[in-house]
Chain A
């Protein structure tokens, strides 16, 4: 297990290094930062001085190593917009993103698993048809459209809930539902098909032959196996949710990481973009690592094989 863990950790570190490299190259490709930073009236001499100040006149490899050294110290530069360290700007937004993602994931996993199980066990009934119909629509609905419709109905027309911003419990309901819809639908559909396959397995016939009650056959024997692919999917979805839901955060003016990165792109605040993309990547890769480790808990075959 520890060897397996070490291997996966190393892979994750390599992936993060890859992301940092892409961030570095992308920043060099989007134009000369010195030109972007200085007013249009700046002379060539001003630009040259700026380039020297920023270290842009040195060889690319040297710049790259200097960049990595800065990253290791947690130094992603200063935000031009906020006049504070870029990483600080991004990290301040993390609690908002995690709060929204956490609530959305909880809704998605709970409702998705319940709906998937019901649909699989109520095969061929109207209940399955309804559950899967709703799930299909949920998975196919564009998030921006759903968010706007929810705002129109519940905030503008009915005025039950606020249209945006972060505050009390009422503020999180609409964005969380918007964000959870796709997650819920994906989990429900995957669990249903996975459960239907598992119920055909020989070991399920063994469980029935042992005279076990349906609750144990379905939950202990079937669902545990059927959840294995679902856990992978939850991990991937969680990585996406926790690394900032750009669209949802923007629609609902939710002050999260996704929104701050989008704003930084608009104002060409590159330090914040770099810090934001790095944080998002680390979260995403971290969740994938977590899923692989959880896998071992659910499936003993993986625990041993490693």
Chain B
């Protein structure tokens, strides 16, 4: 199976008045056809910026791609002219954003917003596009599709709006769906419905998905592969079970321990705060908060490489070895 997306050494910065913000540093990974990748990290980890930047959806300036290569379906995306990039956006790569209220245009009907991509990318007539839009609304399990097409975003509930966003993103049957915190703005019950819906659609359409979230719990419910980002870097990546059962990055371990557990041991927060992206520390960016950090962690940046004695493709960027530390229990 060949990868649909190959990211190699992607580095993105923002030139601001207060200095250069290192948003994404040397990120590399492959995404296979039909694979669902969960990208986890907190605000400012570069998890959203790195995908937005590769498709030219970050304002440049101030944003700037310093180096790297991103190949989508064999075609280099970085440096692509706007026209060719537009032909890919919405056609081969669909997007879902965080807040479906602000991400849908308030003054355009659902029908208009659903059909315009179909008309532009697939050359459908408005009538054809409307019929297709009704099918898509039905696909995301919203009742009365024809009526919905005449409605406006404010007439729908939050969950329904996000379903419309999903239908819109899937309209042209993209090869890749990028979902940027699609459930963060929704109630927990609606979240579960959306995740179930995407899982169902994934099976049926075979679309590859990049699901960006700060919530490891959500990732567990949807992803095949998970990668953890921190301060613009990839700290750990691997098959979902391997990473959850045998985390090798202290940051991943910290994230897992800060999840609510069934048998009420209480939440264990990660001490400290993420680094200032304008003045990144030497070495491993997580080292200042890492109780297991070795002297080397503060000097040299660890490369992302195969974790010892774990499944193939379980990668970690760490000089320390988490297996030699007496888990479980909160780090002292």
Report A's interface with B, CB cutoff 8 A: 201-203, 205-213, 216, 220-221, 224-225, 228, 298-301, 304
Most chain B CB inside 10 Å of its own CB: which residue of A211, A221, A304: A211
> What 0/1 readout, one digit per residue, does chain B (157-176) give for beta carbons within 8 Å of chain A?
00000000100100000000
Q: Which listed segment binds A: B31-39, B104-112, B195-203, B219-227?
A: B104-112
Determine if B324 is an interface residue (Cβ-Cβ < 8 Å). Answer: no
Q: Which residues of A contact B104 (CB under 8 A)?
A: 203, 206
Question: How many residues of chain B are within 8 Å of chain A by beta carbon?
Answer: 29
Query: Once the chains bind, are A211 and B102 in contact (CB under 8 Å)?
Result: no
Q: Which listed segment binds A: B83-91, B239-247, B267-275?
A: B83-91
Contact of A299 with B107 at beta-carbon distance under 8 Å, contacts A208-B57, A209-B57, A211-B86 already known: yes
Query: Once the chains bind, are B120 and A300 in contact (CB under 8 Å)?
Result: no
Query: Once the chains bind, are B90 and A210 in contact (CB under 8 Å)?
Result: yes
Contact of A300 with B106 at beta-carbon distance under 8 Å, contacts A206-B95, A209-B95, A213-B120 already known: yes
Q: Which residues of B contact A224 (CB under 8 A)?
A: 105, 107-108
Q: Which residues of B contact A216 (CB under 8 A)?
A: 116, 120
Report the number of A-B residue pairs with Cβ-Cβ less than 8 Å.
79
Contact of A300 with B154 at beta-carbon distance under 8 Å, contacts A203-B106, A211-B121 already known: yes
Query: Once the chains bind, are B103 and A211 in contact (CB under 8 Å)?
Result: no
- Beyond A211-B117, A216-B116, A300-B154, 7 additional contacts (C-beta under 8 Å) are A210-B89, A212-B116, A221-B105, A225-B106, A225-B107, A300-B106, A304-B155
- What secondary structure prevails in chain A residues at the interface with B? helix
Query: Once the chains bind, are B154 and A301 in contact (CB under 8 Å)?
Result: yes
Query: Once the chains bind, are B97 and A205 in contact (CB under 8 Å)?
Result: yes
Query: Once the chains bind, are A202 and B89 in contact (CB under 8 Å)?
Result: no
Q: Which residues of B contact A203 (CB under 8 A)?
A: 102-106
Contact of A205 with B117 at beta-carbon distance under 8 Å, contacts A212-B86, A221-B108 already known: no
Query: Once the chains bind, are A212 and B152 in contact (CB under 8 Å)?
Result: no
Cα of A224 to Cα of B105 in the assembled complex, Å: 10
Cα of A299 to Cα of B96 in the assembled complex, Å: 24
Query: Once the chains bind, are A225 and B105 in contact (CB under 8 Å)?
Result: yes
Query: Once the chains bind, are A209 and B55 in contact (CB under 8 Å)?
Result: yes
Query: Once the chains bind, are B117 and A212 in contact (CB under 8 Å)?
Result: yes
Q: Which residue of B lies closest to A216 (CB)?
A: B116
Cα of A97 to Cα of B322 in the assembled complex, Å: 84
Q: Which residues of B contact A221 (CB under 8 A)?
A: 105, 108
Cα of A80 to Cα of B66 in the assembled complex, Å: 82
Determine if B99 is an interface residue (Cβ-Cβ < 8 Å). Answer: yes
Contact of A211 with B87 at beta-carbon distance under 8 Å, contacts A202-B99, A300-B154, A304-B152 already known: yes
